[in-house]
Every structure is written in C-alpha cells, then in structure tokens.
C-alpha cells in the first residue's frame, strides 16, 4: 500500500522502536513510500518499507499524538496523472515485500471488532480476509469461519470472508458492543500477516478498531495485533487494508487480561464445542456435576454458553462449560 509523509522530515528506522535509535535515512515532507506491513511495538505502530530498507513510525517520535503518515488514494489523482500509480507498480515489481524470518504458528485466529467507522452503526461488515506467510498468500480452502453469538442475514454469513464476492455482516454488533470472527484452519499453519477488504456498500459499518488473537488449541490465546483508529481502514469500497503483521508485542505480557479471558470463554471457542441457551430462570453453575452442590456462579435468562460435553450423574445430565 502507498503512504505519504504528512509531517516534517521523517526518520526511517532500522527496527520498529520508540527508543533513541538514530534513523538510517529520512523522508522529506510529502514523500510517498510503499509499505509492506504494519507492526505494533510497545503499543505504537510502524510501517515497514516495501523495499525492506527500514521502518517508518505512524506517529511523531517526539509527540505520540501526532500522526505523520496518511494512505495515498490513487483514485484521487488528477485525470491523466498516473505518476503515483506507476511508481507504485514499478516498486512492487522491483522490490517484492520483505518477510520475517520467524513465523507465528496457529490453528485458530480470533478477530474482535470493537469499533466501526460510525459510532451509531448497529452492525459491522467485512468483505473478505487474506492471510500470508513468507510473502505468499495462504490457500484458505478448508478454513472455517464462525461468528459466535452473532446474527447474519442468510447470504451474508461469516463464511463469506473467504469469497471474492459478498460480505460478512453481523447485525448484533451494537447490541453486544463487539463482534467476533473466529477462523479455524484445517491444521496448524504458519502465518505472518492479516488483511481485510471493505465491503461494496455502507462505509459506516467498516471496522476501525480490531484486535487479532491466535491459538494452537483454542484455549490458550495470545494477542497478535491491535488496529486502533480508521487510518488503516480504506474509505474506498472493495479496497484492501494494508497487511497487519501478526506478532506478539514484545513490550506487552503474552497473557490476556481478565475481560479478554471472559470474552474468549463465552464467545470465541473453536467449532468442536456446541452452543446452548438458558431458556429458564437464573441458572446455577456448579463446580462439579452433583445436585447437592452450591452454585459457584449463575447464568442469566437467555444467556448463551459453549459446552464441551454432556455427562450423566444419578440420572441427571450436566453440560461442562
């Protein structure tokens, strides 16, 4: 993707870091560059140049609140002005995107969408997703997409994120204050980057804040990327985001906070579990399957839960969460 320096003279760093490292070189104000991917380090985002020559910070190193890059919309060029597009094409041909020497191994990816472009949108949508490793697109045949506790129209379910046409639409985004897209690979995979494409309509439903977690077993999860703000979500329809690098942030703890652990348990487990709803009154959760045990917690009426298995004790059946 093509970007422009909208700040002052901008340093190109050897590694993505907010420290006092001296820049390798500088970009002049207004300079356009190509980015291979976006990485997060210590909560700050950096764009890797497509020719592998270094990393460019999203924000000023002196003032973290000041964004110094913007996406270049080639469709906004003046008629007959194809210089930016030609430069982009030539650079891509001459300099294939660099890729990391180490790769994340996962079987499950969980995408939390936390904000949309419009603060009042009742739903969220994504046109398509892609994964790549070592600079090559992954074949996503056999992958499964789920939207736990979501609600989609008949022909706009989560499986549409693998198709070049259509979209995934979750109508329960505002009701749940988030949407979850759970991707399950047929086997373990190695992956470097994630990208998504906007849908063909309704820009107000585009995701602008999402977090991506990965897991080998569906139980232990680790945060791999957090995209906050609309800088990396194209306003154009059917347009791709930049590649978002999937890596644990070395400056953060690998463990999830309490809220994410709860969300993981309640909404984003792999497809081997089955989903159930409490259709009674307030329902007790027992520490073991026994009728004489005091509940350790409760499910509210209509609450959904994921069950691993059903067991029978003294003629009564119990679901294990």
**Among 149, 155, 137, 222, residue whose Cα is nearest residue 181:** 149
**Assigned token pair, 140:** 């996503």
Residues ≥6 apart with Cβ < 8 Å to 149: 172, 176, 180, 266, 267, 275, 304
What distance in Å separates the CA atoms of residue 46 and residue 59, rounded to the nearest whole number? 8
Q: State phi, psi for 142 to the nearest 5 degrees.
A: 85, -5
What distance in Å separates the CA atoms of residue 99 and residue 191, rounded to the nearest whole number? 11
HSE-CB of 267 using CA atoms within 13 angstroms: 20
Bridging pattern class, strands 25-27 and 2-5: unpaired
What distance in Å separates the CA atoms of residue 200 and residue 127, rounded to the nearest whole number? 7
What distance in Å separates the CA atoms of residue 158 and residue 220, rounded to the nearest whole number? 23
Q: How many residues does the chain have?
A: 321
Alpha-carbon distances, residue 81 vs 14, 77, 86 (angstroms)? 33, 6, 10
**Assigned token pair, 232:** 């990396």
At 61 the pLDDT is 84
Q: Is the distance from CB of 112 to CB of 226 less than 8 angstroms?
A: no
Q: Is the distance from CB of 206 to CB of 128 less than 8 angstroms?
A: no
Neighbouring CB atoms inside 10 A of 159's CB total: 15
For each of the chain's 321 residues, which pLDDT tens digit applies?
899 999 999 999 998 887 778 899 999 999 999 999 999 988 899 999 998 899 999 999 888 889 999 999 754 333 333 344 344 333 333 345 577 777 899 999 999 999 999 999 999 999 999 999 988 999 999 999 999 999 999 999 999 999 999 999 999 999 999 999 999 999 999 999 999 999 999 999 999 999 999 999 888 899 999 999 899 999 999 999 999 999 988 766 544 444 454 444 444 444 456 778 888 888 999 888 887 888 888 888 888 877 777 777 777 888 888
To the question of pTM greater than 0.85 for the whole model, the response is no
Q: Is the distance from CB of 221 to CB of 213 less than 8 angstroms?
A: yes
At 48 the pLDDT is 93
């Amino acid at each position: 993707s093509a970007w422009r320096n909208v700040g002052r003279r901008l340093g190109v760093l050897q590694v993505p870091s907010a420290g006092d490292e001296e820049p390798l070189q500088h970009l002049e104000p207004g300079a356009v560059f190509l980015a291979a991917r976006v990485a997060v380090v210590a909560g700050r985002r950096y764009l890797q140049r497509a020719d592998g020559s270094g990393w460019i910070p999203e924000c000023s190193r002196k003032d973290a609140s000041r964004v110094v890059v913007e996406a270049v919309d080639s469709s906004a060029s003046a008629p007959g002005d194809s210089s930016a597009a030609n430069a982009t094409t030539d650079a891509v041909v001459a300099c294939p995107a660099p890729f990391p020497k180490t790769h994340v191994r996962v079987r499950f990816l969980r995408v939390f969408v936390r904000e949309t472009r419009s603060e009042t949108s009742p739903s969220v949508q994504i046109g398509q997703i892609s994964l790549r490793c070592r600079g090559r697109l992954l074949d996503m045949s056999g992958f499964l997409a789920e939207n736990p506790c979501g609600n989609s129209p008949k022909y706009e379910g989560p499986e549409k994120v693998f198709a070049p046409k259509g979209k995934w639409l979750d109508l329960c985004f505002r009701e749940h204050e988030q949407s979850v897209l759970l991707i399950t690979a047929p086997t373990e995979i190695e992956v470097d980057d994630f990208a998504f494409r906007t849908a063909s309509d309704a820009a107000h439903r585009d995701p602008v804040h999402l977090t991506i977690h990965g897991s080998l077993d569906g139980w232990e999860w680790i945060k791999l990327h957090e995209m906050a703000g609309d800088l990396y979500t194209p306003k154009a329809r059917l347009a791709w985001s930049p590649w978002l690098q999937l890596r644990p942030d070395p400056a953060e703890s690998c463990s999830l906070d309490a809220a994410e652990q709860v969300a993981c348990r309640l909404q984003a487990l792999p497809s081997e579990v089955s989903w159930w709803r409490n259709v009674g009154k307030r329902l007790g959760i027992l520490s073991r399957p026994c009728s004489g045990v005091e509940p350790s917690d409760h499910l509210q009426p209509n609450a959904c839960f994921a069950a691993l298995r059903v067991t029978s004790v003294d003629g009564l059946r119990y679901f294990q969460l």
